[in-house]
């Protein structure tokens, strides 16, 4: 049986146009002094207006909300091309956390919530954040440690708790806040998601967190929910089903992160290969030296393997499967492979790679946190191994020799 891994012709064309747009528009904007930090609202509007004009804006959102309605496999091709530039995802409105929030709102939100929150988010009129992570000993890699609480009050809920490392909080029009409505920290279930408008006096930004990476617009912030009251219609999904509903977002968001960072890995690879073909020393070109050739080859292997794992996981998600194991495998491998590719590329370029004349040092700072974001590699390896052991135990007949 023939297996065709090529994308649909319409997706392939959109990916081609996205690559062209990134080369002609996004990369030059990113070379402006200070622009690569993605903190300028004017730069964001400029890039998104250009993406609309180019016909590549919001490829992941349904047609009803102005997007292209791509499935996960379609997104893989387009998002990778957008990720070739640090500002590419921002331009197409597929940057985290907005992209993951749009995906979840489109599936879970009520019609009224979609009009109030999803539509302006999909058009790029506003930004959002996802308030899940808490200071220790609260929710982090272990979501069950959730400590923020929401209690019923007349006609709604009162939220109290502290969140930290909330990406994009500064300037976001609303937050999706995960709070415990039942049980105690450490217990399964009992979580609920709430839509909280930024002008709610009960939600405040405590501080901005200085981090290794700088590209996320709005940065990373610590939030305080202090007697933050929201109405019943602010509940996103069902009360007590927040952990289950969040799975709608988590698996796909891991994969879209992988897609975007794979684009950066390709960009780093291309810089290194150009340098290897141009630089002459020890009587030959750099690319003719065996140790450099090994690094170039290993980069190709890592990029190809990561892309294959992403496509496998996306295929499972498109089939309606949970994709828990495949997304964990793909996320862990890709996060580490992208780091290796950027690190090798910098090494190939030598002093040039360390300098600001090429963006490899910047890439290295940006991709390193991905081995922690969306679940540390160690947590994913733990869950991967647990699933394997459970499956093996379930497949072993009682009394069989082990």
pLDDT at 290: 95
Write down all domains in the chain, each with its CATH number in brackets.
9-122 (1.10.540.10), 128-236 (2.40.110.10), 244-395 (1.20.140.10)
Q: How far apart are CA 401 and CA 389, in angstroms?
A: 16
* 155: region left, alpha or beta (phi > 0 left; psi from -120 to 50 alpha): left
pTM: 0.94
Peptide linkage before 97 cis (omega within 30 of 0)? yes
pLDDT at 86: 95
Q: How far apart are CA 367 and CA 400, in angstroms?
A: 47
Q: How far apart are CA 337 and CA 343, in angstroms?
A: 10
Task: Please name which of 240, 246, 241, 236 lies closest in space to residue 324, comparing C-alpha atoms.
Answer: 246
For the chain, 402 residues long, the average pLDDT of each consecutive 10-residue run is 74 98 95 63 93 97 96 98 97 97 97 98 98 96 95 96 97 98 94 98 97 92 98 97 93 96 98 97 93 98 98 96 96 98 98 96 96 96 97 82 54
The answer to whether the beta carbons of residues 341 and 264 sit under 8 Å apart is: no
Q: How far apart are CA 224 and CA 181, in angstroms?
A: 17
Task: Please name which of 200, 196, 330, 308 lies closest in space to residue 253, comparing C-alpha atoms.
Answer: 330
Task: Please name which of 175, 203, 206, 187 lies closest in space to residue 147, comparing C-alpha atoms.
Answer: 187
Task: Read off φ and ψ for residue 8, nearest 5 degrees.
Answer: -55, 145
Show the tokens assigned to 114. 């979609």
Q: How far apart are CA 159 and CA 154, in angstroms?
A: 13
pLDDT at 3: 58
Q: How far apart are CA 260 and CA 93, in angstroms?
A: 12
Residue 82 CB burial class (10 angstroms; 0-12, 13-18, ≥19): buried
């Amino acid at each position: 049986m023939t297996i065709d891994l090529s994308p649909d012709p319409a997706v392939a064309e959109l990916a081609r146009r996205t690559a062209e747009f990134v080369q002609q528009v996004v990369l030059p904007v990113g070379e402006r002094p200070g622009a690569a930090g993605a903190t300028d609202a004017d730069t964001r509007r400029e890039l998104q207006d250009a993406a609309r004009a180019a016909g590549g804006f919001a490829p992941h959102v349904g047609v009803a909300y102005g997007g292209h309605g791509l499935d996960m496999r379609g997104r893989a091709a387009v998002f990778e091309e957008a990720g070739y530039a640090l500002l590419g995802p921002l331009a197409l409105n597929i940057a985290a956390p907005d992209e993951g929030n749009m995906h979840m709102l489109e599936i879970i939100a009520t019609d009224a919530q979609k009009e109030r929150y999803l539509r302006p988010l999909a058009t790029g009129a506003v930004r959002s954040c996802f308030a899940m992570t808490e200071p220790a000993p609260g929710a982090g890699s272990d979501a069950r440690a959730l400590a923020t609480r929401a209690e019923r009050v007349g006609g709604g809920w009162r939220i109290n708790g502290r969140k930290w490392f909330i990406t994009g909080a500064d300037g976001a029009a609303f937050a999706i806040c995960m709070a415990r409505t039942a049980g105690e920290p450490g217990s399964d279930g009992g979580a609920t998601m709430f839509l909280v408008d930024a002008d709610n006096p009960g939600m405040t930004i405590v501080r901005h967190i200085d981090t290794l990476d700088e590209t996320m617009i709005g940065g990373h912030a610590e939030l305080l929910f202090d007697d933050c009251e929201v109405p019943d219609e602010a509940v996103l999904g069902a009360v007590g089903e927040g952990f289950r509903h969040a799975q709608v977002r988590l698996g796909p968001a891991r994969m879209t992160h992988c897609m975007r960072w794979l684009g950066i890995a390709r960009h780093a690879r291309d810089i290194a290969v150009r340098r290897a073909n141009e630089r002459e020393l020890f009587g030959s070109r750099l690319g003719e030296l065996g140790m450099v050739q090994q690094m170039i080859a290993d980069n190709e292997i890592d990029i190809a393997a990561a892309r294959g794992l992403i496509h496998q996981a996306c295929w499972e998600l498109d089939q309606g499967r949970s994709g828990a194991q495949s997304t964990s495998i793909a996320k862990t491998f890709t996060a580490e492979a992208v780091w290796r590719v950027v690190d090798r590329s910098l090494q190939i370029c030598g002093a040039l790679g360390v300098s600001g004349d090429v963006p490899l040092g910047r890439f290295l700072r940006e991709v390193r946190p991905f081995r922690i974001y969306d679940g540390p590699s160690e947590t994913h390896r733990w869950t991967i191994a647990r699933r394997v052991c459970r499956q093996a135990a379930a497949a072993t007949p009682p009394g069989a020799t082990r």
